[in-house]
Structure 1
Protein backbone atom coordinates (compact mmCIF):
# COMPACT_ATOMS: atom_id res chain seq x y z
CA UNK A 1 0.00 0.00 0.00
CA UNK A 2 1.46 3.44 -0.92
CA UNK A 3 2.49 5.87 1.79
CA UNK A 4 -0.40 8.08 2.74
CA UNK A 5 0.06 11.75 1.80
CA UNK A 6 0.02 14.26 4.62
CA UNK A 7 -3.01 16.14 3.26
CA UNK A 8 -6.07 14.34 1.96
CA UNK A 9 -9.76 13.80 2.66
CA UNK A 10 -8.86 11.19 5.28
CA UNK A 11 -6.86 13.67 7.32
CA UNK A 12 -3.41 12.35 6.49
CA UNK A 13 -1.10 10.28 8.65
CA UNK A 14 -1.80 12.49 11.68
CA UNK A 15 -5.49 12.83 10.90
CA UNK A 16 -8.65 10.87 11.37
CA UNK A 17 -8.88 7.11 11.64
CA UNK A 18 -6.50 4.29 12.28
CA UNK A 19 -4.91 2.13 9.65
CA UNK A 20 -6.25 -1.38 9.18
CA UNK A 21 -5.60 -4.07 6.63
CA UNK A 22 -8.22 -6.50 5.47
CA UNK A 23 -7.26 -10.01 4.38
CA UNK A 24 -7.31 -10.55 0.65
CA UNK A 25 -10.24 -12.51 -0.64
CA UNK A 26 -12.54 -12.75 -3.61
CA UNK A 27 -14.93 -9.77 -3.55
CA UNK A 28 -18.58 -10.73 -3.44
CA UNK A 29 -19.74 -7.76 -5.56
CA UNK A 30 -18.29 -5.37 -8.11
CA UNK A 31 -18.71 -2.57 -5.58
CA UNK A 32 -16.54 -4.49 -3.12
CA UNK A 33 -13.96 -5.07 -5.86
CA UNK A 34 -13.82 -1.31 -6.44
CA UNK A 35 -13.36 -0.59 -2.74
CA UNK A 36 -10.64 -3.24 -2.46
CA UNK A 37 -8.81 -1.66 -5.40
CA UNK A 38 -9.11 1.79 -3.84
CA UNK A 39 -7.86 0.38 -0.54
CA UNK A 40 -4.68 -0.72 -2.29
CA UNK A 41 -4.36 2.55 -4.18
CA UNK A 42 -4.92 4.81 -1.17
CA UNK A 43 -5.60 3.57 2.38
CA UNK A 44 -7.60 1.22 4.52
CA UNK A 45 -8.82 2.80 7.75
CA UNK A 46 -11.43 2.57 10.43
CA UNK A 47 -13.01 5.72 11.78
CA UNK A 48 -14.70 6.99 14.92
CA UNK A 49 -13.77 8.96 17.99
CA UNK A 50 -14.37 12.52 16.85
CA UNK A 51 -16.49 14.64 19.17
CA UNK A 52 -20.00 14.46 17.70
CA UNK A 53 -20.86 18.16 17.94
CA UNK A 54 -17.47 19.24 16.58
CA UNK A 55 -17.88 16.74 13.74
CA UNK A 56 -21.35 18.13 13.03
CA UNK A 57 -20.00 21.69 12.86
CA UNK A 58 -17.11 20.69 10.61
CA UNK A 59 -19.45 18.89 8.24
CA UNK A 60 -21.87 21.82 8.10
CA UNK A 61 -18.93 24.08 7.20
CA UNK A 62 -17.94 21.68 4.41
CA UNK A 63 -21.36 21.76 2.74
CA UNK A 64 -21.24 23.05 -0.84
CA UNK A 65 -17.55 23.87 -0.64
CA UNK A 66 -14.09 22.30 -0.61
CA UNK A 67 -11.71 21.37 2.21
CA UNK A 68 -9.51 24.24 1.07
CA UNK A 69 -12.30 26.64 2.05
CA UNK A 70 -13.90 24.82 4.98
CA UNK A 71 -10.80 23.88 6.96
CA UNK A 72 -9.63 27.50 7.45
CA UNK A 73 -13.19 28.36 8.53
CA UNK A 74 -13.10 25.62 11.14
CA UNK A 75 -9.66 26.74 12.32
CA UNK A 76 -10.95 30.30 12.66
CA UNK A 77 -14.01 29.12 14.57
CA UNK A 78 -11.89 27.19 17.07
CA UNK A 79 -9.47 30.12 17.44
CA UNK A 80 -12.37 32.52 18.08
CA UNK A 81 -14.60 30.37 20.30
CA UNK A 82 -12.29 27.67 21.67
CA UNK A 83 -12.91 23.93 22.02
CA UNK A 84 -14.33 23.77 25.54
CA UNK A 85 -18.13 23.75 25.85
CA UNK A 86 -18.33 24.63 22.18
CA UNK A 87 -22.05 23.87 21.87
CA UNK A 88 -22.89 26.15 24.80
CA UNK A 89 -20.64 28.90 23.44
CA UNK A 90 -22.05 28.72 19.91
CA UNK A 91 -25.64 28.56 21.10
CA UNK A 92 -25.08 32.07 22.55
CA UNK A 93 -22.89 33.35 19.71
CA UNK A 94 -23.86 36.51 17.86
CA UNK A 95 -24.89 35.54 14.33
CA UNK A 96 -22.90 38.26 12.57
CA UNK A 97 -19.76 37.50 14.57
CA UNK A 98 -19.95 33.78 13.77
CA UNK A 99 -20.72 34.49 10.11
CA UNK A 100 -17.64 36.71 9.82
CA UNK A 101 -15.52 34.06 11.53
CA UNK A 102 -16.50 31.30 9.08
CA UNK A 103 -16.64 33.48 5.97
CA UNK A 104 -14.07 31.42 4.05
CA UNK A 105 -16.48 28.44 4.01
CA UNK A 106 -18.98 30.27 1.79
CA UNK A 107 -22.71 30.59 2.46
CA UNK A 108 -21.53 31.90 5.82
CA UNK A 109 -24.75 33.64 6.85
CA UNK A 110 -26.76 30.48 6.22
CA UNK A 111 -24.18 28.23 7.90
CA UNK A 112 -23.95 30.50 10.94
CA UNK A 113 -27.71 30.22 11.41
CA UNK A 114 -27.60 26.44 11.05
CA UNK A 115 -24.73 26.08 13.54
CA UNK A 116 -26.34 28.31 16.18
CA UNK A 117 -29.68 26.51 15.77
CA UNK A 118 -27.99 23.10 15.97
CA UNK A 119 -26.11 24.07 19.14
CA UNK A 120 -29.30 25.31 20.79
CA UNK A 121 -31.24 22.24 19.72
CA UNK A 122 -28.59 19.87 21.08
CA UNK A 123 -28.46 21.65 24.43
CA UNK A 124 -32.26 21.67 24.67
CA UNK A 125 -32.71 18.01 23.76
CA UNK A 126 -29.61 16.34 25.23
CA UNK A 127 -28.52 18.77 27.92
CA UNK A 128 -24.90 18.94 26.80
CA UNK A 129 -22.57 18.20 23.92
CA UNK A 130 -21.20 15.26 25.93
CA UNK A 131 -24.65 13.70 26.18
CA UNK A 132 -25.17 14.27 22.44
CA UNK A 133 -21.82 12.57 21.78
CA UNK A 134 -22.89 9.59 23.89
CA UNK A 135 -26.19 9.41 21.97
CA UNK A 136 -24.38 9.34 18.62
CA UNK A 137 -21.94 6.67 19.75
CA UNK A 138 -24.23 4.35 21.71
CA UNK A 139 -27.75 4.49 20.32
CA UNK A 140 -28.93 2.39 17.40
CA UNK A 141 -28.03 4.12 14.10
CA UNK A 142 -31.66 3.65 13.05
CA UNK A 143 -32.51 6.02 15.90
CA UNK A 144 -29.54 8.38 15.55
CA UNK A 145 -29.82 9.07 11.82
CA UNK A 146 -33.43 10.36 11.88
CA UNK A 147 -32.60 12.47 14.95
CA UNK A 148 -29.69 14.07 13.10
CA UNK A 149 -31.79 14.62 9.98
CA UNK A 150 -34.36 16.42 12.11
CA UNK A 151 -31.81 19.15 12.90
CA UNK A 152 -32.28 22.12 10.61
CA UNK A 153 -29.69 22.18 7.82
CA UNK A 154 -28.55 18.59 8.34
CA UNK A 155 -28.98 16.40 5.27
CA UNK A 156 -28.19 12.72 4.67
CA UNK A 157 -24.49 13.22 3.92
CA UNK A 158 -23.95 15.34 7.04
CA UNK A 159 -25.83 12.86 9.23
CA UNK A 160 -23.88 9.93 7.81
CA UNK A 161 -20.54 11.69 8.31
CA UNK A 162 -21.39 12.21 11.99
CA UNK A 163 -22.35 8.54 12.30
CA UNK A 164 -19.08 7.49 10.63
CA UNK A 165 -16.46 9.87 11.99
CA UNK A 166 -17.92 10.43 15.47
CA UNK A 167 -19.97 7.30 15.99
CA UNK A 168 -17.48 4.97 14.31
CA UNK A 169 -20.38 3.03 12.80
CA UNK A 170 -19.60 0.29 10.31
CA UNK A 171 -21.89 0.01 7.34
CA UNK A 172 -22.28 3.79 6.88
CA UNK A 173 -21.24 5.07 3.43
CA UNK A 174 -21.83 8.85 3.15
CA UNK A 175 -22.49 9.99 -0.40
CA UNK A 176 -21.19 13.32 -1.65
CA UNK A 177 -21.10 14.68 -5.20
CA UNK A 178 -17.95 12.69 -6.09
CA UNK A 179 -19.41 9.39 -4.93
CA UNK A 180 -22.75 10.12 -6.57
CA UNK A 181 -20.93 10.68 -9.88
CA UNK A 182 -18.43 7.81 -9.65
CA UNK A 183 -20.73 4.91 -8.90
CA UNK A 184 -23.30 5.91 -11.52
CA UNK A 185 -20.56 6.28 -14.12
CA UNK A 186 -19.26 2.86 -13.21
CA UNK A 187 -22.69 1.31 -13.60
CA UNK A 188 -22.74 0.08 -10.01
CA UNK A 189 -25.71 2.31 -9.18
CA UNK A 190 -28.49 3.12 -11.66
CA UNK A 191 -27.62 6.09 -13.90
CA UNK A 192 -30.59 8.10 -12.62
CA UNK A 193 -30.13 7.20 -8.94
CA UNK A 194 -30.25 10.05 -6.46
CA UNK A 195 -27.79 10.36 -3.56
CA UNK A 196 -29.87 8.21 -1.23
CA UNK A 197 -30.30 5.47 -3.82
CA UNK A 198 -26.53 5.38 -4.42
CA UNK A 199 -26.00 5.12 -0.66
CA UNK A 200 -28.41 2.20 -0.43
CA UNK A 201 -26.59 0.33 -3.20
CA UNK A 202 -23.17 0.85 -1.63
CA UNK A 203 -24.25 -0.03 1.90
CA UNK A 204 -25.85 -3.19 0.49
CA UNK A 205 -22.93 -4.28 -1.71
CA UNK A 206 -19.87 -3.19 0.32
CA UNK A 207 -19.00 -5.07 3.53
CA UNK A 208 -19.83 -2.94 6.56
CA UNK A 209 -16.23 -2.70 7.81
CA UNK A 210 -15.06 -1.36 4.42
CA UNK A 211 -17.68 1.39 4.05
CA UNK A 212 -15.74 4.02 6.02
CA UNK A 213 -12.53 4.01 4.03
CA UNK A 214 -14.62 3.30 0.93
CA UNK A 215 -16.14 6.75 1.43
CA UNK A 216 -12.88 8.66 1.92
CA UNK A 217 -10.90 6.72 -0.71
CA UNK A 218 -13.68 7.17 -3.27
CA UNK A 219 -13.59 10.93 -2.75
CA UNK A 220 -9.83 10.94 -3.29
CA UNK A 221 -10.31 8.90 -6.47
CA UNK A 222 -12.97 11.35 -7.66
CA UNK A 223 -10.58 14.24 -7.18
CA UNK A 224 -7.64 12.58 -8.90
CA UNK A 225 -9.16 10.42 -11.65
CA UNK A 226 -12.95 10.41 -12.05
CA UNK A 227 -13.34 14.17 -12.00
CA UNK A 228 -16.55 15.98 -12.89
CA UNK A 229 -15.13 17.89 -15.86
CA UNK A 230 -12.46 15.61 -17.29
CA UNK A 231 -12.39 11.95 -16.22
CA UNK A 232 -9.00 10.35 -16.79
CA UNK A 233 -10.45 7.76 -19.19
CA UNK A 234 -11.66 10.45 -21.58
CA UNK A 235 -8.20 10.89 -23.13
CA UNK A 236 -6.60 7.58 -22.16
CA UNK A 237 -8.68 4.54 -21.15
CA UNK A 238 -5.61 3.05 -19.48
CA UNK A 239 -5.05 6.10 -17.27
CA UNK A 240 -7.70 5.03 -14.77
CA UNK A 241 -6.76 2.35 -12.22
CA UNK A 242 -10.40 1.19 -12.14
CA UNK A 243 -10.96 1.04 -15.91
CA UNK A 244 -11.56 -2.71 -15.95
CA UNK A 245 -14.32 -2.37 -13.33
CA UNK A 246 -16.11 0.56 -14.96
CA UNK A 247 -18.96 0.68 -17.51
CA UNK A 248 -18.15 4.32 -18.43
CA UNK A 249 -21.80 5.36 -18.36
CA UNK A 250 -22.02 8.73 -20.08
CA UNK A 251 -18.30 8.85 -20.97
CA UNK A 252 -17.44 8.60 -24.67
CA UNK A 253 -13.64 8.57 -25.21
CA UNK A 254 -13.87 8.23 -29.01
CA UNK A 255 -15.91 11.41 -29.25
CA UNK A 256 -14.04 13.07 -26.39
CA UNK A 257 -17.32 13.83 -24.70
CA UNK A 258 -19.13 13.05 -21.47
CA UNK A 259 -22.53 13.68 -19.93
CA UNK A 260 -24.17 13.02 -16.60
CA UNK A 261 -24.95 9.29 -16.42
CA UNK A 262 -28.66 10.11 -16.11
CA UNK A 263 -28.47 11.77 -19.55
CA UNK A 264 -26.59 8.92 -21.24
CA UNK A 265 -28.30 7.18 -24.12
Structure 2
Protein backbone atom coordinates (compact mmCIF):
# COMPACT_ATOMS: atom_id res chain seq x y z
CA UNK A 1 0.00 0.00 0.00
CA UNK A 2 3.01 2.31 0.26
CA UNK A 3 3.85 4.84 2.93
CA UNK A 4 1.32 7.54 1.97
CA UNK A 5 -1.31 6.33 4.42
CA UNK A 6 -4.57 8.11 5.08
CA UNK A 7 -4.86 10.15 8.31
CA UNK A 8 -6.13 8.21 11.31
CA UNK A 9 -8.86 10.73 12.11
CA UNK A 10 -10.73 10.19 8.85
CA UNK A 11 -14.08 8.42 9.08
CA UNK A 12 -12.82 5.58 6.89
CA UNK A 13 -10.69 4.17 9.66
CA UNK A 14 -7.12 5.26 9.15
CA UNK A 15 -4.54 2.87 7.67
CA UNK A 16 -6.87 -0.04 8.51
CA UNK A 17 -9.65 1.46 6.39
CA UNK A 18 -8.57 -0.21 3.15
CA UNK A 19 -6.96 2.62 1.21
CA UNK A 20 -4.22 5.20 0.80
CA UNK A 21 -4.36 8.95 0.22
CA UNK A 22 -5.00 9.96 -3.37
CA UNK A 23 -5.57 13.10 -5.43
CA UNK A 24 -9.08 14.05 -6.48
CA UNK A 25 -10.00 15.69 -9.77
CA UNK A 26 -13.54 17.08 -9.57
CA UNK A 27 -13.73 17.67 -13.37
CA UNK A 28 -17.03 19.05 -14.72
CA UNK A 29 -20.02 17.53 -12.95
CA UNK A 30 -22.71 16.13 -15.24
CA UNK A 31 -25.32 15.59 -12.52
CA UNK A 32 -26.28 17.25 -9.25
CA UNK A 33 -25.22 14.10 -7.40
CA UNK A 34 -21.75 14.33 -8.91
CA UNK A 35 -21.62 18.03 -8.04
CA UNK A 36 -22.34 17.15 -4.40
CA UNK A 37 -19.47 14.65 -4.37
CA UNK A 38 -17.19 17.21 -6.03
CA UNK A 39 -17.98 19.78 -3.35
CA UNK A 40 -17.34 17.21 -0.67
CA UNK A 41 -13.98 16.69 -2.38
CA UNK A 42 -13.06 20.26 -1.56
CA UNK A 43 -13.76 19.69 2.13
CA UNK A 44 -12.54 16.15 2.84
CA UNK A 45 -9.39 14.40 1.71
CA UNK A 46 -9.56 11.56 -0.81
CA UNK A 47 -8.55 7.92 -0.84
CA UNK A 48 -8.25 4.93 -3.12
CA UNK A 49 -9.80 1.62 -2.18
CA UNK A 50 -9.04 -2.07 -2.00
CA UNK A 51 -6.35 -3.98 -0.19
CA UNK A 52 -8.20 -4.85 3.01
CA UNK A 53 -8.53 -8.56 3.80
CA UNK A 54 -12.04 -9.54 2.74
CA UNK A 55 -13.06 -11.66 5.71
CA UNK A 56 -11.63 -9.16 8.19
CA UNK A 57 -13.56 -6.43 6.39
CA UNK A 58 -16.73 -8.54 6.59
CA UNK A 59 -16.25 -9.03 10.33
CA UNK A 60 -15.57 -5.33 10.87
CA UNK A 61 -18.67 -4.32 8.95
CA UNK A 62 -20.91 -6.79 10.78
CA UNK A 63 -19.68 -5.38 14.09
CA UNK A 64 -20.47 -1.85 12.92
CA UNK A 65 -24.11 -2.64 12.15
CA UNK A 66 -26.59 -0.59 14.21
CA UNK A 67 -23.88 1.08 16.26
CA UNK A 68 -21.20 3.75 16.11
CA UNK A 69 -17.49 3.48 15.30
CA UNK A 70 -16.81 4.43 18.92
CA UNK A 71 -18.62 1.30 20.09
CA UNK A 72 -17.64 -1.12 17.34
CA UNK A 73 -13.92 -0.37 17.06
CA UNK A 74 -13.05 -1.68 20.57
CA UNK A 75 -15.10 -4.80 19.84
CA UNK A 76 -13.16 -5.33 16.61
CA UNK A 77 -9.83 -4.82 18.38
CA UNK A 78 -10.77 -7.27 21.15
CA UNK A 79 -11.97 -9.83 18.60
CA UNK A 80 -8.78 -9.60 16.58
CA UNK A 81 -6.64 -9.88 19.70
CA UNK A 82 -8.41 -13.08 20.72
CA UNK A 83 -9.28 -14.75 17.40
CA UNK A 84 -7.09 -13.12 14.77
CA UNK A 85 -4.58 -15.89 14.27
CA UNK A 86 -3.47 -17.52 11.04
CA UNK A 87 -7.04 -17.89 9.74
CA UNK A 88 -9.72 -15.67 11.25
CA UNK A 89 -12.51 -17.60 9.53
CA UNK A 90 -11.37 -20.87 11.09
CA UNK A 91 -10.98 -19.25 14.51
CA UNK A 92 -14.52 -17.85 14.42
CA UNK A 93 -16.01 -21.04 13.01
CA UNK A 94 -14.77 -22.90 16.09
CA UNK A 95 -15.44 -20.11 18.59
CA UNK A 96 -17.68 -20.69 21.60
CA UNK A 97 -20.73 -18.50 21.20
CA UNK A 98 -20.76 -17.08 24.72
CA UNK A 99 -17.04 -16.32 24.67
CA UNK A 100 -17.30 -14.54 21.32
CA UNK A 101 -20.40 -12.62 22.40
CA UNK A 102 -18.63 -11.44 25.53
CA UNK A 103 -15.60 -10.38 23.48
CA UNK A 104 -17.68 -8.17 21.17
CA UNK A 105 -20.10 -6.93 23.83
CA UNK A 106 -19.23 -3.26 23.27
CA UNK A 107 -20.58 -3.44 19.69
CA UNK A 108 -24.14 -4.05 20.87
CA UNK A 109 -26.46 -6.85 19.70
CA UNK A 110 -23.54 -9.07 20.63
CA UNK A 111 -25.45 -12.36 20.81
CA UNK A 112 -26.92 -11.84 17.36
CA UNK A 113 -23.61 -10.69 15.90
CA UNK A 114 -21.78 -13.64 17.45
CA UNK A 115 -24.21 -15.98 15.66
CA UNK A 116 -23.60 -14.20 12.36
CA UNK A 117 -19.80 -14.27 12.71
CA UNK A 118 -19.64 -17.94 13.68
CA UNK A 119 -21.89 -18.89 10.79
CA UNK A 120 -19.85 -16.70 8.42
CA UNK A 121 -16.66 -18.46 9.49
CA UNK A 122 -18.28 -21.86 8.95
CA UNK A 123 -19.59 -20.87 5.51
CA UNK A 124 -16.25 -19.46 4.35
CA UNK A 125 -14.46 -22.67 5.38
CA UNK A 126 -17.09 -24.86 3.71
CA UNK A 127 -17.40 -22.95 0.44
CA UNK A 128 -13.92 -21.43 -0.03
CA UNK A 129 -11.58 -23.40 2.21
CA UNK A 130 -9.98 -20.52 4.09
CA UNK A 131 -10.13 -16.78 4.68
CA UNK A 132 -7.34 -16.35 2.09
CA UNK A 133 -9.36 -18.21 -0.55
CA UNK A 134 -12.42 -16.10 0.30
CA UNK A 135 -10.29 -12.98 -0.17
CA UNK A 136 -9.23 -14.17 -3.63
CA UNK A 137 -12.87 -14.74 -4.55
CA UNK A 138 -13.83 -11.21 -3.47
CA UNK A 139 -10.91 -9.47 -5.17
CA UNK A 140 -10.81 -11.52 -8.37
CA UNK A 141 -14.43 -12.59 -8.86
CA UNK A 142 -17.04 -10.94 -11.05
CA UNK A 143 -18.58 -8.17 -8.88
CA UNK A 144 -22.22 -9.17 -9.33
CA UNK A 145 -21.37 -12.80 -8.49
CA UNK A 146 -19.42 -11.71 -5.40
CA UNK A 147 -22.24 -9.42 -4.26
CA UNK A 148 -24.80 -12.18 -4.72
CA UNK A 149 -22.69 -14.63 -2.72
CA UNK A 150 -22.23 -12.11 0.08
CA UNK A 151 -25.95 -11.36 0.23
CA UNK A 152 -26.65 -15.08 0.57
CA UNK A 153 -24.73 -15.11 3.86
CA UNK A 154 -26.83 -14.81 7.00
CA UNK A 155 -26.71 -11.33 8.52
CA UNK A 156 -25.14 -9.72 5.43
CA UNK A 157 -27.26 -6.99 3.87
CA UNK A 158 -26.61 -4.74 0.87
CA UNK A 159 -24.56 -2.17 2.79
CA UNK A 160 -22.28 -4.83 4.31
CA UNK A 161 -21.84 -6.56 0.95
CA UNK A 162 -21.03 -3.29 -0.80
CA UNK A 163 -18.51 -2.29 1.86
CA UNK A 164 -16.68 -5.58 1.35
CA UNK A 165 -16.70 -5.02 -2.42
CA UNK A 166 -15.38 -1.49 -1.99
CA UNK A 167 -12.84 -1.78 0.80
CA UNK A 168 -11.56 -5.25 -0.07
CA UNK A 169 -12.30 -5.75 -3.75
CA UNK A 170 -11.57 -2.14 -4.68
CA UNK A 171 -14.53 -2.32 -7.06
CA UNK A 172 -15.22 0.95 -8.85
CA UNK A 173 -18.82 2.09 -9.07
CA UNK A 174 -19.86 0.71 -5.67
CA UNK A 175 -21.64 3.23 -3.43
CA UNK A 176 -22.63 1.60 -0.11
CA UNK A 177 -25.71 3.15 1.44
CA UNK A 178 -25.85 3.39 5.23
CA UNK A 179 -28.30 5.44 7.31
CA UNK A 180 -26.36 8.68 6.67
CA UNK A 181 -26.23 8.25 2.89
CA UNK A 182 -29.88 7.18 2.82
CA UNK A 183 -30.91 10.31 4.70
CA UNK A 184 -28.64 12.82 2.95
CA UNK A 185 -29.46 12.09 -0.68
CA UNK A 186 -33.19 12.01 -0.06
CA UNK A 187 -32.96 15.26 1.93
CA UNK A 188 -30.94 16.80 -0.90
CA UNK A 189 -33.72 15.79 -3.30
CA UNK A 190 -31.38 13.68 -5.42
CA UNK A 191 -33.14 10.41 -4.62
CA UNK A 192 -36.93 10.11 -4.23
CA UNK A 193 -38.11 10.98 -0.73
CA UNK A 194 -39.60 7.51 -0.22
CA UNK A 195 -36.70 5.58 -1.76
CA UNK A 196 -35.37 2.62 0.22
CA UNK A 197 -31.65 1.94 0.63
CA UNK A 198 -31.38 -0.07 -2.58
CA UNK A 199 -33.19 2.56 -4.61
CA UNK A 200 -30.89 5.28 -3.27
CA UNK A 201 -27.88 3.12 -4.19
CA UNK A 202 -29.18 2.67 -7.74
CA UNK A 203 -29.62 6.43 -8.16
CA UNK A 204 -26.13 7.24 -6.88
CA UNK A 205 -24.35 4.53 -8.86
CA UNK A 206 -26.16 5.73 -11.99
CA UNK A 207 -25.50 9.46 -11.52
CA UNK A 208 -21.99 9.47 -10.02
CA UNK A 209 -18.95 8.30 -12.04
CA UNK A 210 -17.56 4.95 -10.92
CA UNK A 211 -14.23 6.40 -9.79
CA UNK A 212 -16.00 8.83 -7.43
CA UNK A 213 -18.40 6.39 -5.77
CA UNK A 214 -16.04 5.04 -3.12
CA UNK A 215 -14.89 8.46 -2.03
CA UNK A 216 -18.46 9.75 -2.25
CA UNK A 217 -19.55 7.09 0.25
CA UNK A 218 -17.00 7.90 2.94
CA UNK A 219 -17.20 11.68 2.42
CA UNK A 220 -20.99 11.57 2.64
CA UNK A 221 -20.79 9.76 5.97
CA UNK A 222 -18.41 12.42 7.26
CA UNK A 223 -20.75 15.15 6.01
CA UNK A 224 -23.75 13.43 7.59
CA UNK A 225 -22.08 13.24 10.97
CA UNK A 226 -20.66 16.75 10.86
CA UNK A 227 -23.43 18.75 9.17
CA UNK A 228 -26.46 16.84 7.88
CA UNK A 229 -27.45 15.07 11.09
CA UNK A 230 -30.78 13.32 11.48
CA UNK A 231 -32.38 15.56 14.10
CA UNK A 232 -30.59 18.90 13.82
CA UNK A 233 -29.03 19.53 10.42
CA UNK A 234 -26.76 22.56 10.14
CA UNK A 235 -29.16 24.33 7.76
CA UNK A 236 -31.40 25.13 10.74
CA UNK A 237 -28.74 27.70 11.68
CA UNK A 238 -28.96 29.36 8.27
CA UNK A 239 -27.71 28.60 4.75
CA UNK A 240 -24.19 29.75 5.57
CA UNK A 241 -23.92 26.95 8.18
CA UNK A 242 -24.09 24.16 5.60
CA UNK A 243 -21.62 23.77 2.70
CA UNK A 244 -24.28 22.00 0.60
CA UNK A 245 -27.00 24.64 0.98
CA UNK A 246 -26.78 25.72 -2.66
CA UNK A 247 -27.46 22.15 -3.83
CA UNK A 248 -30.01 21.01 -1.24
CA UNK A 249 -33.81 20.96 -1.52
CA UNK A 250 -34.11 20.45 2.26
CA UNK A 251 -36.73 17.74 1.90
CA UNK A 252 -38.23 17.15 5.33
CA UNK A 253 -36.58 20.22 6.89
CA UNK A 254 -38.64 23.29 7.78
CA UNK A 255 -36.09 25.99 8.58
CA UNK A 256 -38.69 28.47 9.83
CA UNK A 257 -40.32 26.14 12.37
CA UNK A 258 -37.22 24.06 13.06
CA UNK A 259 -39.19 20.87 12.40
CA UNK A 260 -37.22 18.00 10.91
CA UNK A 261 -38.87 14.80 9.65
CA UNK A 262 -37.78 11.87 7.53
CA UNK A 263 -37.98 12.94 3.86
CA UNK A 264 -40.57 10.22 3.25
CA UNK A 265 -42.86 11.96 5.76
CA UNK A 266 -42.47 15.44 4.28
CA UNK A 267 -45.42 17.18 2.64
Q: Flag whether TM exceeds 0.5 (same fold).
A: yes
Kindly indicate whether structure 1 or structure 2 has the higher relative contact order, using CA contacts under 8 Å at least 6 residues apart: 1
Secondary structure at the aligned position of 1:65 is classed as: coil
Choose from 56, 59, 62 the match for 1:60: 62
Structure 1 stretches of at least 4 aligned residues deviating more than 3 Å after TM superposition: 12-16
The aligned counterpart of 1:92 is 94
Secondary structure at the aligned position of 1:64 is classed as: coil
Task: Work out the CA distance in 1 between the residues paired with 2:242 and 2:7.
Answer: 19
Contact residue 234 and residue 257 of structure 1 kept, 8 A: no
TM-score (norm 1): 0.96
Contact residue 235 and residue 256 of structure 1 kept, 8 A: no
The aligned counterpart of 1:255 is 257
The aligned counterpart of 1:214 is 216
The aligned counterpart of 1:115 is 117
Choose from 38, 48, 51 the match for 1:49: 51
Q: Deviations over 1:137-157 (max 9, x none)?
A: 011111000100000000000
Alpha-carbon offset, residue 80 of structure 1 = 1.2
Q: Deviations over 1:36-65 (max 9, x none)?
A: 111110022111110000000000000000
Q: Deviations over 1:165-198 (max 9, x none)?
A: 0000000000000000000000000000000000
Task: Work out the CA distance in 1 between the residues paired with 2:162 and 2:26.
Answer: 27
Task: Work out the CA distance in 1 between the residues paired with 2:84 and 2:107.
Answer: 18
TM-score (norm 2): 0.95
Gap regions ≥5 residues in structure 1 = none
Alpha-carbon offset, residue 14 of structure 1 = 7.2
Contact residue 233 and residue 243 of structure 1 kept, 8 A: yes
Matching of residues 1-265 of structure 1 within 5 Å:
6-12=8-14, 15-265=17-267
Alpha-carbon offset, residue 73 of structure 1 = 0.1
Alpha-carbon offset, residue 17 of structure 1 = 1.2
Aligned-residue Cα RMSD (Å) equals 1.2
Task: Work out the CA distance in 2 between the residues paired with 1:75 and 1:118.
Answer: 18
Task: Work out the CA distance in 2 between the residues paired with 1:176 and 1:246.
Answer: 19
Alignment: residue pair count: 262
Task: Work out the CA distance in 2 between the residues paired with 1:167 and 1:6.
Answer: 21
Evaluate the alpha carbon distance shift between residue 29 and residue 83 of structure 1 in structure 2; reply closer, same or farther with a 3 A threshold.
farther
Between 1:15-24 and 1:177-186, the stretch displaced more is 15-24
Task: Work out the CA distance in 2 between the residues paired with 1:207 and 1:53.
Answer: 27
Task: Work out the CA distance in 2 between the residues paired with 1:119 and 1:102.
Answer: 16
Secondary structure at the aligned position of 2:14 is classed as: coil
Contact residue 55 and residue 165 of structure 1 kept, 8 A: yes
